[in-house]
Amino acid sequence: MASHGKREVQARIDRDGVVPVFYDSDVEVAKAVARSLATGGLTVLEFTNRGDGAMRVFAELAAWARADLPELVVGVGTVTHAATAIHALDLGADFVFGPTLDPDVAAACHERNVPYVPGCATLTEITAAYRLGCDRVKLFPADAVGGPSFLRAVRAPCPWIQAIPTGGVEPTVASLRAWYEAGAPAVGMGSRLLTKDLIAAGDWGGLERKVIETVSAVAEARRITTS
């Protein structure tokens, strides 16, 4: 069962403005990354279902977070089948992200009242996601489908669309500002935030500083956007 309710998950994502995306086969590395995120000021983590044994690692990570880092919202990403979604939900996923839109995954998540954020690359896919009951979509791959100008164009006739761009987003004021001004409530960010060299070196202090810098960039980008 999820540790955080649907409204809280959505509020956390909106507040942070960033959804960190991460995978590692070592649960201790995953825990260290999670600590760095929380200490640096981010409270959401999408653990992707990308490698062999990913769900086993997620199971340990989620159980640890519930006990030792309860403020952290932990979900599963790269979910493309209902069976995987159900397994993730049974392990306590607070949300489910996918690179594609799947009606069966939507049904599984909505039955548990857990946010499902499917990957969409066209207005038709986005509309289909909303018809399936999704509150948010993942604009993916965000840079390849047209960047902030695409989201701005989509929201012109459909301003209710809430899309979280993932793919090519940089942890800089300029990149974040462009997406926020286009109407994104938050962005997804993987290795550009959780850099491989810092993780490989076990430089958790350096990773925490990178997170702090990103949190600062989010605040500055939002200040400019709303000023």
As separate numbers, helices (DSSP H) first and strands (DSSP E) second, the chain gives 10, 9
Domain boundary assignment for the chain: 6-226
Residue 52 is predicted with a pLDDT of 87
Residue 169 is predicted with a pLDDT of 97
pLDDT digits (tens, 9 = 90+) for 112-122: 999 999 999 99
Q: Phi first, then psi: give them for residue 26, nearest 5 degrees.
A: -100, 115
Distance set, CA 160 to CA 27, 149, 183, 185 (Å): 38, 16, 10, 11
Residue 139 is predicted with a pLDDT of 98
The listed CATH number (1.20.1070.10, 3.20.20.70, 3.90.950.10, 2.30.42.10) that belongs to domain 6-226: 3.20.20.70
Q: What is the pTM of this model?
A: 0.96
